[in-house]
Amino acid sequence: MKIISVVNQKGGCGKTVTAVNLAAALAKRNHKVLLIDLDGQAHATYALGAKSNTTITDLLELAVENKITSKNVNALRIAENFYLIPSSIGLTSLEQKLNAKSNRLKMLSAVLAAFGESFEYCIIDCAPNLSIVTLNALAASKYSIVPVGICDFSLRGTEILKNILIMLKEYTGQAPTPFYLLSQVDNRSRYARDFIDRVRGRLGTMLFNTAIRTNISLREAAFAGKSIFAHSPEARGAEDFTALAVEVEQMTRDTTWSTLFYKGQSLNSVYVAGDFNNWQKDENYRLKKVGDEIWAINLPLQKGRYRYKFVANDNWVTDPLNTLAEKDPFGGTNSLLDVK
């Protein structure tokens, strides 16, 4: 199962609209999709007009009690190939129980493992905060989609998220590969056009080519308790989410993505060089400055083990966030990347 969390610390940037309609778009393209509403406000549940006796809170309670099995997990059918695990207000009271567990970040992973290979994709709609519940989503995910609204506050939320991903990688040894999505785009605005140019220059290939344009039909669909495809399949919102689904298919099909982060002050450039590019300082492997001191790159790699180093201001250094390493023939050390 390909697990994708939709997350940004800032509210109002289009997370729920993205999660609901991306899941619906993938289902329309003949993928069996599970959508999890992991927000105690239950916006995705409301946006699909869903009611169920079983919520994600119930399933996480079972996981906390080590009682989660394939026999007691189920999801609500929304449409062909499209299933939902609804949320409830009780999710907000689960934090204390999760924090008491030594494997507190693995509870959602246990729930998903109980579903086995029943679904091809799992889309997780996260709350607009970085609580232990949201960290469970990030720990369970292979990828994250970060909607970015046309405002600098939304972009600031992505910087905070990157710090969380770095801490998650330090703590667990892995973090989801983030891809960014421009949302609520109105190209008639000069500010919007300038903002988009700035974001594309900053994020590069970490940004989806597809942008979700402003479309009243998306709001009307949520109010009606439907996906855009059930409410207005000819609307440009449906067109945009179909294009996004195609990009997600390509992103998850043949290549495994690995994200590398580097933190450092007073740097003009950071590259990564290794077995995957013949140890060359190549512009295609130049990290993007995505925060005040944070540089990042998403690497598309085939499965295998790769040796690498960073080249920061022309100094060759190992990855300080990666404890996996081996000695090189010249008396130094190479970082190791296992792609599975």
Alpha helices in the chain (DSSP H): 15-28, 43-47, 56-64, 95-99, 107-115, 132-140, 152-172, 190-203, 216-224, 228-231, 236-253
In whole angstroms, give the CA distance from residue 17 to residue 12: 10
Q: Let me know: does 170 contact 181? Beta carbons within 8 Å.
A: no
Contacts of 242 (CB under 8 A, 6+ apart): 25, 28, 29
In whole angstroms, give the CA distance from residue 21 to residue 171: 32
What confidence tens digit (pLDDT) does each residue in 41-85 have?
A: 899 999 999 888 889 999 999 999 899 998 888 899 999 999 999
What confidence tens digit (pLDDT) does each residue in 212-233 have?
A: 998 999 999 999 999 999 999 9
In whole angstroms, give the CA distance from residue 156 to residue 125: 20
Nearest residue to 172 via CA among 274, 232, 107, 103: 103
Domains belonging to the chain, first-starting first, are 2-253 (3.40.50.300), 256-339 (2.60.40.10)
Once rounded to an integer, what is the mean pLDDT over residues 23-27? 97
The DSSP line for 162-220 is HHHHHHHHHHHS--PEEEEEEEEE-TT-HHHHHHHHHHHHHHGGGEEEEEEE--HHHHH
Q: Let me know: does 199 contact 155? Beta carbons within 8 Å.
A: yes
In whole angstroms, give the CA distance from residue 134 to residue 91: 11
Q: What is the pLDDT of residue 154?
A: 67
Contacts of 329 (CB under 8 A, 6+ apart): none
181: which strand partners?
147
State pTM to two decimals. Answer: 0.88
What confidence tens digit (pLDDT) does each residue in 251-281 have?
A: 898 678 888 999 888 899 999 999 999 999 9
Q: What is the pLDDT of residue 157?
A: 65
* 130 vs 223 pLDDT, higher one: 223
